[in-house]
């Protein structure tokens, strides 16, 4: 449900700066959820933020710091993933 709402919002916003701002907000949501120990919600937010930055990259519209944010999100997803044990 949240992912569909995020996708609808992205389709309505569309501009590079707005997508970047939404990505930053989603990253902040992910950090807050991770700090609360809610990894599934954090992962959803991180993946949505990364998807937006990937869309900007595909459009050649990455801004200053966006590539670094992409790397940070990937590392957060990798580190935060619970062990499959």
pLDDT in tens, 14-58: 688 889 999 999 999 999 999 999 999 999 999 999 999 998 888
Structural domains in the chain, sorted by start: 14-79 (1.20.58)
**The whole model's pTM is what?**
0.76
**pLDDT of residue 2 exceeding 80:** no
Q: Any alpha helices (H) in 1-85, and if so which ranges? A: 2-13, 16-35, 39-58, 66-80
- The pair of structure tokens assigned to 34 is 């991770």
What pLDDT, on the 0 to 100 scale, is given for residue 78? 85
Residues 4-18, mean pLDDT to the nearest whole number: 71
Whole-angstrom distance, CA of residue 8 vs CA of residue 82: 29
Torsions phi, psi of 46, nearest 5?
Answer: -60, -45
Q: Are 39 and 79 in contact (CB under 8 A)?
A: no
């Amino acid at each position: 449900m949240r992912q569909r709402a995020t996708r609808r919002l992205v389709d309505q916003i569309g501009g590079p700066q707005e997508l970047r701002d939404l990505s930053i907000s989603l990253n902040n949501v992910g950090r807050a959820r991770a700090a609360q120990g809610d990894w599934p919600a954090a992962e959803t937010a991180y993946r949505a933020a990364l998807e937006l930055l990937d869309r900007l990259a595909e459009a050649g519209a990455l801004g200053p710091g966006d590539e670094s944010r992409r790397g940070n999100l990937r590392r957060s997803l990798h580190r935060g993933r619970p062990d499959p044990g």
